[in-house]
Amino acid sequence: MRVSLKPWRAPALVVGCALLAVLAFACFGDEEDGDIAATPVAPTATPRVADGPPQPEPTTTPTSALETPTATATPTPTATMTATPTATATRAPTSTPTATSTPTATSTPTATTTPTAAPAATPTAAPAATPSSSAASVADTEADAEAVPESVDDGMALGGDDADHDAMEDAMDDGGGRGGDGDYDSMASDDAGDEASARVSSSSGGGDDAARPALSAGEVNDNERWDEYLLYVREYSAGPVHEVDVSERYIITVTDPAGRPVHNARVRVSAADVTLFEGRTYANGQTLFFPLAFEASERAESFVLFVEKDESSSQLEFVRGGERNWAVTLDMEQAAVVEGVPLDILFLLDATGSMADEIGQIKDSLLSISSRISALPSQPDLRFGMVAYRDRGDEFVTRLYDFEPDAERFLETIRGVVADGGDDWPESLNEALHVAVHQPEWRHGDAIRLMFLIADARPHLDYPDDYSYAVEMIEAHQRGIKIFSIASSGLEPPGEYIFRQIAQHTMGRFIFIVYGEGGTTPHNVSRYTVQQLDDLVVSLVEEELAFLAR
Quick: pLDDT tens for 511-542: 999 987 767 788 989 889 899 999 999 999 99
Confidence (pLDDT) at 338: 60
Whether residue 56 lies inside any domain: the answer is: no
pLDDT tens track for 421-440:
887 789 999 999 999 999 99
Q: How many CB atoms lie within 10 A of CB 100?
A: 12
Taking alpha carbons only, the member of 222, 208, 210, 202 closest to residue 512 is 222
Whether residue 267 lies inside any domain: the answer is: yes
Confidence (pLDDT) at 12: 47
Residue where one domain finishes, among candidates 329, 363, 394: 329
How many residues are given for the chain? 550
Residues 302 and 353 in one domain: no
User: What's the CA gap between 529 and 414, in Å, rounded?
Assistant: 31
Give the chain's residues under pLDDT 70: 1-211, 335-338, 518
Label the pairing between strands 312-319 and 302-309. antiparallel
C-alpha distance from residue 5 to each of 1, 18, 19 (Å): 13, 18, 19
Domain of 371, CATH number, reads: 3.40.50.410
Whether residue 232 lies inside any domain: the answer is: no
Edge-to-edge strand list for the sheet holding 312-319: 274-280, 266-271, 302-309, 312-319
Angle (nearest 5°) at CA 512 between 509 and 517: 135
Confidence (pLDDT) at 394: 96
Label the pairing between strands 381-389 and 342-350. parallel
485 within 8 A of 203, measured Cβ to Cβ = no
Confidence (pLDDT) at 518: 67
Edge-to-edge strand list for the sheet holding 286-289: 286-289, 250-255, 325-329
Share of the chain above pLDDT 70, in %: 61
Would you give the end-to-end CA distance of the chain in angstroms? 179
Domain of 287, CATH number, reads: 2.60.40.1120
497 within 8 A of 523, measured Cβ to Cβ = no
What are residue 350's DSSP bridge partners?
389
Alpha-helical segments (H) within 310-401: 356-374
User: What's the CA gap between 316 and 320, in Å, rounded?
Assistant: 13
What are residue 485's DSSP bridge partners?
453, 510
Radius of gyration (Cα) for the chain, nearest Å?
47
pLDDT tens track for 147-204:
333 333 333 333 333 333 343 334 333 333 333 333 333 333 343 333 333 333 333 3
Residue where one domain finishes, among candidates 307, 329, 351: 329
| Residues in CB range of 257: below 8 A, 6 or more apart | 329, 331, 332
Confidence (pLDDT) at 519: 72
Residues 296 and 431 in one domain: no
Whether residue 190 lies inside any domain: the answer is: no
**CA dihedral (205, 209, 212, 213) positive or negative:** positive
* Strand, coil or helix: 312: strand
Residues 457 and 522 in one domain: yes
Residues 468 and 527 in one domain: yes
Residues 312 and 350 in one domain: no
Residues 505 and 378 in one domain: yes
Whether residue 68 lies inside any domain: the answer is: no
Residue where one domain finishes, among candidates 329, 349, 373: 329
* Strand, coil or helix: 162: helix
548 within 8 A of 378, measured Cβ to Cβ = yes
Return the amino acid letter for 25.
Answer: F
Residues 404 and 277 in one domain: no
User: What's the CA gap between 511 and 2, in Å, rounded?
Assistant: 153
Confidence (pLDDT) at 247: 97
Whether residue 401 lies inside any domain: the answer is: yes
Whether residue 151 lies inside any domain: the answer is: no
Domain that holds residue 378: 216-225+338-546
E-only strand ranges, 257-377: 266-271, 274-280, 286-289, 302-309, 312-319, 325-329, 342-350
C-alpha distance from residue 124 to each of 69, 72, 82, 117 (Å): 8, 11, 15, 12
Residues 506 and 447 in one domain: yes
Whether residue 101 lies inside any domain: the answer is: no
Confidence (pLDDT) at 156: 31
Q: How many CB atoms lie within 10 A of CB 340?
A: 11
Q: Pseudo-torsion of CA 109, 115, 118, 121, nearest 10°?
A: -50
| Residues in CB range of 463: below 8 A, 6 or more apart | 392, 428, 430
Domains held by the chain: number = 2
Q: How many CB atoms lie within 10 A of CB 256?
A: 18
430 within 8 A of 466, measured Cβ to Cβ = yes
Residues 393 and 499 in one domain: yes
Confidence (pLDDT) at 442: 99
| Residues in CB range of 123: below 8 A, 6 or more apart | 69, 70, 73
| Residues in CB range of 521: below 8 A, 6 or more apart | 218, 512, 513, 514, 515, 528
Taking alpha carbons only, the member of 496, 510, 517, 538 closest to residue 218 is 510
Label the pairing between strands 250-255 and 286-289. antiparallel
Residues 399 and 381 in one domain: yes
Q: Rounded to an integer, what is the distance from CA 526 to the centroid of its chain?
A: 38
Residues 345 and 325 in one domain: no
**CA dihedral (347, 353, 357, 360) positive or negative:** positive
Q: How many CB atoms lie within 10 A of CB 393?
A: 11
Residues 317 and 343 in one domain: no
Confidence (pLDDT) at 330: 97
